[in-house]
A and B are shown apart, each in its own frame.
Chain A
Amino acid sequence: MASTEGAAIYQVVFEASPDPIMVHDADTGTVVRANQAAGALLGCAPDDIVGMHVGEFSPPGFSTADANDLIAEAATSGSAQVEWATEGPDGTDQLVEVTLKRAALGDETRVVAFIHDVTSIRERERKHAEQSEQLDTLMGNLPVVVFTLDPDGVFTYSAGKGLEGLGLEPGDLEGTSVFETYSEYPDIITAVEEALDGEEVRVTQEIDDLVFETWYRPVFDDSGRLKQVVSVARDITGLKRREERVEALSGATNELLYSRTETAAADKVAQIAQRIVDQPLAAIWSYDSGDDTLYPIGATAKATDFAGVETAADLPPMGPDSDENRIFHTSEPTVIEDYQELSNPSAPSMPMRTLLCLPLDDQGMLCIGSETVASFDGDERFLLEILASTAAAGLERIERETRLKSKQAELERSNEALQQFAYIASHDLQEPLRMVSSYVDLLDSEYGDDLDEEAAEYMAFAVDGARRMQEMVDALLRYSRVETNAGDFEETDPEAVLDRTLDALRMRIEEVDATIIAGSLPRVDADPNQVGQVFQNLLENAIEYATEADIEPRIEVSAEEDDDMVTFTVSDNGPGIPAADREEVFNIFHRAGAHDTEGTGIGLAVCQRIVLRHDGRIWVEPSDDGATFKFTLPAVTEVSGDD
C-alpha cells in the first residue's frame, strides 16, 4: 500500500516538476519516460520523446557517443552532470544544467536526467565575476593604498597602486596584524587604535621616505558592533615635497634680504638650490665685466668636495671663451644635457654630466650640476628660476649697499681729515699769528713815536691784517669744534635755550632796540648748547644786517612739528638775502651783502654744520621782505615711560 501511495506521489512530483525530467535506459541511452516540462522543452508531447536517444536532442557538439559516455558515467558512479548551451522553446539562448542520477529498477538500471534552466543564474554569476574583476582592476590601479582591518587589527584586504611605493604586492598584508607589521610606527598604531574604538580618523603619516594622508573609517554591523575598518591611504610625498620647496624658496627670499655680503648670499642661494632639486652640486658665480669672467663666490660643500677644492673661491672661473660664459650672456636659463660633450667647458676635468645654468641678470650665474644625466622637471625649473631672480635682486642690493658703504666710509674719512685740518690749522696758526700781532704791537709801542706818517699807516695795515687773520682762525676753530666739542643729544626745550641766548645778547638787543617775538617751540632731541649757538648766530646776523641798513630789528622765532622733525623759522625785517646768495650764505667765510659788517661769515656755516649733525637741514626761504631762515631738528619721539 505504502509503495502504491509512494508511487502515486512520485508520479505527481514527476509530472508536476517545473524542471524537465527524463528517464533513460542506462544500457541504450534511450528515453523511457519524460514529463510535461520535458515535452515543453523539446516542443512536443512527452510520449513523443519516449524512444528518442539523448544524442538526438543534445546540443550541437555533444555527440551520441558523448551522451552514452555521460549516461554510462552516471550508471557507474551514481551521478553525472553537464551544462548545455541550447535553444529554449521561444528560440532564445538558454543554459541548462543536466544532472544525471542512477536509479535501480529491479535488475534494470535507469538513469534519470533532471534538466534545470540556469540561464539567469549563470548570467548573474558572470556579471558578478565581471564586476569583481573590474573592481580588482580599479583597486589595483588606484594611486592609493586601500585596506581593511578586522576588529583585531588584522589586515583582511590590501590593494592599490600605492602599495608599490611600499614595495608590497596586493594581498601581501592580508592576514598580518597591523600591530606587528607597523609596530615601529607609533603614528599608525595610534590611528588604528582610535579607529578600532569606533572613531573616524584622518591623519598624515610618514612611512620611511614617504608621506601618506590616511583615512580610517570604522564600519559597524546592524547591532552596532564594529565589523571592520576600511582605510584609504594617499601618497602625498610629492605634494609635501613641493610644499617644502616653496617654503625653502620663500625662506630664501627672507634670508637673502638679510645677507650682508656677496659670499654669504651666494652660499645661501647654493644651499637653497640644493634643497629645491636634491642635487647637491650647486655653485654660484659673480660676473666681472672688467675681464668678462665669472668668478665663483659660493658653493655647497658637496660641490667643492666634488671639484676637489677647499673653498668655493677655488672653483675654476668661467672665462670669456667658455661655454658657461656664453650661456651667461644669453640671459636664458639653459640645461647642458651632458657636460662632457661641451667643446669649451670651464672645467674640462670635472666628471659632471647634466648642468643647469641660471643667469642672474648681469650679476652672475647659478649652476646646478649632476653626476649623472639628470633632468629637471617643470616644477623644479620654475622654482629655480624664481630663486635665480631672487638671488639676482639680492646680489644687486648687496652690491649697491657695498658701494654706498665704501662711499660713506670715504666721505667720513675725508670729513674727518677736513676736521683734523681745520683744528690743526686753527691751533697751530695761533702761535705764529700771535708773534706777528704781538711784535707789531711792541714795535708800535716802543718805536711808534719815531715813525713817520707813512710808516704808521703801514703798521696799521699790518695790525689790521693780523687781527682779521686772528678772527678767521678763531672762526675756523669754532667751525671745527662743532664736531670735536659736540655734546650728547638730549630732550631739549628750545624755549629755555632761546631765553638763555637772549640773555647773552641782552646788551646788544637793548643797544639797537631790537624786538624779538618768540612763539611756542616744541621740544627737540638735540645738543642744547649747539641749538643755542644756532639761535645766537641767526639772531646776531639778523640784528647786524638790519642795524647796518638802519632798520630797527624785529625778529620772529616760531616752530612747527610735523612727523618726526620740528621746523624752526627765524625771520627778520632786514634787507634780506638776494636769491643768488641763498645757498652760498652757508659756505665758510662767505659774507652776505656789504663787507663792512662785523664778523667773519662763519656763523651760518657753523649753523649748517650743527643742523646737519642733527640730521636736519637749514635753508633760506624765499621772501620779499627781510630774511627768513628755516631749519629742522629731530622731534622728541614719544616714549611710553613710567607714569
Chain B
Amino acid sequence: MTESSEGRPVEILLAEDNPGDVRLTEKALEKGKVLNNLHVVNDGVEALEFLRQEAEYGDAPRPDLLLLDLNMPRKGGQEVLEAMKGDESLRRIPVVVLTSSEAEEDIIESYDLHANAYLTKPVDFDGFVDIVSSVEDFFLTVVKRPPK
C-alpha cells in the first residue's frame, strides 16, 4: 500500500445503511493501493454529525472523501449534499455519490447539488472493486484536493 499524496493515510467517510455494501466497500478498499482510514456512518444525520464533529463524533477527523449513498433512513444523501453545500466549512470536501439508483432525476439532482461524481454500484464484486479503486486513484492520488 502506498500513502496518499499528503504522505499520511487518507480519511474516507462512508455513509451507507446497508451493512452488505459497507462490507463490500471495506473489502474493495483493502484491495486498493492507498493507505486509508475508513469511517462508517449509517444515515444522513450521523454523516452530518461526523462532518461537523458533533455528538459522539467530537474527535472525528475531517474526511478527505465522502462516499455517499442516496437512500438512507432519517436523512437521505441528497439532503446531506444540500446541507454540505450550504456550509462554508464542508462545501470543499469531495463527495462521490455511490448508489444503486439509475434514475435520471437522481443523477441530475445530485450533480445540481454539486456532487463531484455519481457512480452506480456494479452488480458483481469485481466490478465493485474496480469502481472503488478508480475512485481511490482519481480522488486520492490524481486530483489535487483542497487544503484542509
Which residues in A have some Cβ–Cβ distance to B below 8 Å?
427, 430-431, 433-435, 437-439, 441-442, 445, 470, 477, 485
Contacts and interface: CB of A to CB of B under 8 A. Distances in A.
B146 interface: no
B18 A438 contact: no
Contacts of A445: 125-126
Contacts of A433: 123
B134 interface: no
A485 B107 CA distance: 14
Interface of A is mostly: helix
Contacts of A430: 100
B101 A438 contact: no
Nearest to A428: B100
A430 B102 CA distance: 10
29 contacts: A427-B101, A427-B103, A430-B100, A431-B18, A431-B100, A434-B100, A434-B121, A434-B122, A434-B123, A435-B18, A435-B21, A437-B123, A437-B125, A438-B20, A438-B24, A438-B123, A438-B125, A438-B128, A439-B20, A439-B125, A441-B124, A441-B126, A442-B27, A442-B125, A445-B125, A445-B126, A470-B123, A477-B102, A485-B104
Contacts of A435: 18, 20-21
Interface in B60-118: 100-104
Given A437-B123, A441-B125, A441-B126, 16 more contacts: A431-B18, A431-B100, A434-B100, A434-B122, A434-B123, A435-B18, A438-B124, A438-B125, A439-B125, A441-B124, A442-B125, A445-B125, A445-B126, A470-B123, A477-B102, A485-B104
Contacts of B101: 427
Q: Chain B interface: which size bin?
A: 10 to 19
- By Cβ-Cβ distance, the 9 closest A-B pairs, closest first, are A441-B125, A438-B125, A435-B20, A442-B125, A441-B124, A430-B100, A437-B123, A437-B124, A431-B100
Contacts of A431: 18, 100
Contacts of A477: 102
B97 to A, nearest CB: 16
A441 B18 CA distance: 18
A328 to B, nearest CB: 58
A430 B104 CA distance: 16
A77 B34 CA distance: 167
B112 to A, nearest CB: 19
B27 to A, nearest CB: 6
A577 to B, nearest CB: 32
A485 B102 CA distance: 12
Task: Select the residue from B20, B24, B104, B125 with max chain A CB neighbours within 10 A.
Answer: B125
Interface string B24-36: 1001000000000
A470 B20 CA distance: 18
A197 to B, nearest CB: 84
Nearest to B27: A442
Contacts of A437: 123-125
A445 B20 CA distance: 16
A434 B104 CA distance: 20
Contacts of B128: 438
Task: Select the residue from B100, B101, B123 with max chain A CB neighbours within 10 A.
Answer: B123
B22 to A, nearest CB: 12
A438 B121 CA distance: 10
B103 to A, nearest CB: 8
B86 to A, nearest CB: 29
A430 B106 CA distance: 16
B24 A442 contact: yes
B72 to A, nearest CB: 13
B53 to A, nearest CB: 31
A431 B19 CA distance: 12
A601 to B, nearest CB: 20
Contacts of A470: 123
B83 to A, nearest CB: 25
A477 to B, nearest CB: 8
A435 B100 CA distance: 11
B70 to A, nearest CB: 12
B85 to A, nearest CB: 27
